[in-house]
Amino acid sequence: MKTFDLRMRVAAAVAISCFAVVAALSLTLYTASEDLEEALVGQIVSEEMDFLVRHHLEHPGIAHEPGPNLQYYVVRTPEELLRVPELLRTLGTGNHEVGQGIAEQHVSVREIDGTRFIVAYDVGPHEVREQQFKELVLFALVTIMIVAAALGYWISGLITRQITELATRVAQLDPGAPRAPLARPGQDPEVAALARAFDHYQTRIRELLEREQEFTGNASHELRTPLTAIRTSCELLENEPGLPDKVRTRIAAISSAAERMTEQIEVLLFLARAQAMEERETVSLAECVNTAIDPWRSELARKGLYFDHTIAPDATVVVNRHALHLVLANLLRNAVHYTRQGGIQVHWQAPILTVADTGPGVSPEQRTLLFDRHYRGTASANGLGLGLAIVKRACDHCHWQIAVTTPAAGGAAFLLTLS
């Protein structure tokens, strides 16, 4: 359904109100004029009947001359009755209306001592004037409607101008940038109150951002320090002579995990601060997928699951490397966690990267909640339910699309569109 903005609604309200008032006034005037005309015609016919009777009694042999819209009939014999128009012959005593439209007549019939007196008043000219008056009222209503609509649109512009200006300025606000107060001298009281509320809310947002940035900065520093120590220790241990190959392999795994954790901290800090990831580079998809699955190869082996991807070695995309690694790491960890038998496959068909598993799948009801924070697929699932929420947020920041489907063979397939 199409909706109208505030200005159009105000303009419509003004126009409809004016039209309703004028229409009610016109209807009242038209009804009053009709009633007045009926009363006037009735009075004329009654007075003419009294005059006709008095004239006949005073001058029985002299016929009363008809007027412009009046006809007089005095019926004493059957022959005189035949001279009366057929519509009037059978009328009983009293007042009558015969005919329609411009042929309508108001007739008064009175009988005294066997003599019938008939007065017929032609109201055709009144009907013509009444029709003209009706057309004039309709024309006035249409004119008033047009004028009221134009006037209402102009008035509504004056009413909503300050609100529109305030909305434009609010839309241009940057929570982290300095700005002039939205409340200004000369604003209407209601608009000024709204502007002050926005100013207060903006101040609270800025304070929250400052506290959040301070927290993330401190957290970043506190997390980087032990990770740097771990990586440095790994580098020193790797330089120790005489270490068995198995120990060197474990040291390398620890160093790689610390490196990945450092990268993920950077990405999470970007997400927490709502900053766009503008650093883009050419990334090898196969290498990124292999790096993301490496921490889970032992879990794959323990469960007896296979892992396969059909990504060509030369397949590359221009993206933020850390964000892509974060998304793939969470998708693959989720797949490994929920898959009990079978395995995991990764396909690349530009621009869609698909991570499919043979797990329990995702019901239609779950799809709408899957990317919500703290949502877990089953009540027995471990974790805090943040992995897919982080994936969705990273995709939103990088302008990627993420969706989930249930293939016919079962399991779940996450489709990541890298556009």
Q: Would you state the pLDDT for residue 285?
A: 92
Determine the number of helices (DSSP H) and then strands (DSSP E) in the chain: 11, 11
CB 418 within 8 A of CB 400: yes
Which of 23-27, 37-41, 170-174, 376-380 comes out lowest in average pLDDT?
376-380
Q: Tens of pLDDT along 150-202?
A: 888 887 777 777 777 877 777 777 666 667 787 878 777 877 888 888 888 87
Give the range with max mean pLDDT: 193-197, 234-238, 255-259, 410-414.
410-414
Q: Would you state the pLDDT for residue 396?
A: 85
Q: Would you state the pLDDT for residue 1?
A: 39
For residue 20, the Cα-to-chain-centroid distance in whole angstroms is 29
Q: Would you state the pLDDT for residue 379?
A: 45
Q: Which of 297, 389, 377, 311 is nearest to 343 (CA)?
A: 297
- The three-state secondary structure class of 413 is strand
Q: Tens of pLDDT along 390-419?
A: 888 888 888 899 998 888 778 889 999 987
- Across the chain, mean pLDDT equals 80
- Phi first, then psi, for residue 251 (nearest 5°) are -65, -40
Query: Which is more confidently placed, 282 or 209?
Result: 282
The vertex-85 CA angle with 82 and 87, nearest 5°, equals 120
Q: Tens of pLDDT along 62-119?
A: 776 777 788 888 888 888 888 888 888 888 888 888 887 777 888 899 988 888 998 9
Q: What's this model's pTM, rounded to 2 decimal places? A: 0.45
Ramachandran region, residue 100 (left: φ > 0; alpha: ψ -120 to 50; beta: rest): beta
Residue 355 scores a pLDDT above 90: yes
Residue 378 scores a pLDDT above 70: no
- Spatial separation of the C-alpha atoms in residues 222 and 227, rounded to whole Å: 9
Residue 22 scores a pLDDT above 90: no
| Mean pLDDT on 309-337 | 88
Binning pLDDT at 50, 70 and 90, where does residue 353 land? very high
Binning pLDDT at 50, 70 and 90, where does residue 4 land? low
**Strand order from edge to edge, sheet including 70-75:** 70-75, 115-122, 105-112, 94-98
Q: Please name each of the domains of the chain with its CATH number.
A: 6-145 (no CATH), 175-275 (1.10.287), 279-417 (3.30.565.10)
- The three-state secondary structure class of 183 is coil
Query: Residue-wise over 54-84: b if at least 16 C-beta within 10 A, else e?
Result: eebeeeeeeebeeeebbbbbbbeeeeeeeeb
